[in-house]
Amino acid sequence: MAGDKIAHVELNSPKTKNAFSLETASELIKVFDSLESDSSVRCVILSGNGPDFTSGVDIKSFMGLYQKLQETDDIAHRAKLLRVTVERFQAPFKRIYRFEKPIICVQHGLCLGLGMELSACSDIRYCSRDVRMAIREVMIGIAADVGSLQLLPHLTSNQSLLSELIFTGRYLTPDEALKLGFVSHIGETKEETLEKAMDLAETIASRSPVAVQGSKKNLQFSRDKPFHVGLDYNAVWNAAMMQGEDLVKAIGAIVSKDDNVEYEDL
């Protein structure tokens, strides 16, 4: 735990530049399941231990799979082996995307392939000036399959540049990422960026968790829906949530000009 009501999750294989393996995938699911059920946690910061966020997929994870593929010539069996492996890699991204509490991703050092998708599954993205970001899957002969192609079109403002990055695998500069709208802050160092992220997390954690988590849920639901469908869902959501004490506390704080209102954990 990083601080009061804030959890700091770090990818923790610095010797391999936090390369993402099947073990990493399984561990991340467990971590986010635990944080989801912990009502005292209101915001999560995601980064990497050491200088790099992640160098992307751990190629060693595929060595055993490659051996199994050589053991059969049956196309259906080979396809199933590949599909199951891809789905195991996809699982933590699905989990993180549906996580109910805000996630602030701090990208630093290498942020390749899966690192871009981890950040895309987060709600807020900060990066340090030394970050080297790239959607690199094309460089290993595959189409990105854990979130980039599904999420980045919604998160960036220049579809032409996004296609260029995906088709070439070239590095994206921090300034380009900011211009694209993929990140909202560039820090000079990892430490400075983490400090900025912590300040933001503390502000978020001080707000009503009913309002914050409700806002995240409605943002995600409405992303691909017609305007009226999103509003209808929002109305039903607030019909329940506005009956709680947080609304009374928040209005009372505004009237009394008291910024120290305390909200119950959700």
In single-letter form, the type of residue at position 205 comes to A
Tell me what pLDDT residue 4 has. Answer: 80
**CATH architecture assignment, domain 6-205:** Alpha-Beta Complex (3.90)
User: Residues 70-101: pLDDT tens digits?
Assistant: 888 889 988 898 888 889 899 999 999 999 99
* Domain residue spans of the chain: 6-205, 208-256
Contact 93, 86 (CB under 8 A): no
Q: What percent of the chain has pLDDT over 90?
A: 71
3 pLDDT higher than 70: no
Instruction: Specify the 3-state DSSP secondary structure of 38.
Output: coil
Indicate the pairing of strand 110-112 with strand 103-107. Answer: unpaired
74 burial type by CB count under 10 A (0-12 exposed, 13-18 middle, 19+ buried): exposed
Fold of 208-256: Lyase 2-enoyl-coa Hydratase; Chain  A, domain 2 (1.10.12)
pLDDT band for position 2 (cuts 50, 70, 90)? low
Coarse DSSP helix, strand, coil percentages of the chain, rounded to the nearest 5 percent: 55, 15, 30
Tell me what pLDDT residue 211 has. Answer: 94
User: Residues 186-214: pLDDT tens digits?
Assistant: 999 999 999 999 999 999 999 999 999 99
pLDDT band for position 53 (cuts 50, 70, 90)? very high
**Rounded distance, CA 194 to CA 130, Å?**
13
Q: Which two tokens stand for residue 56?
A: 């992307």
Q: Output the pTM of the full model.
A: 0.93
User: Residues 122-172: pLDDT tens digits?
Assistant: 999 999 999 999 999 888 888 888 889 999 999 998 999 999 999 999 999
Q: C-alpha angle 256/262/42, rounded to 5°? A: 135
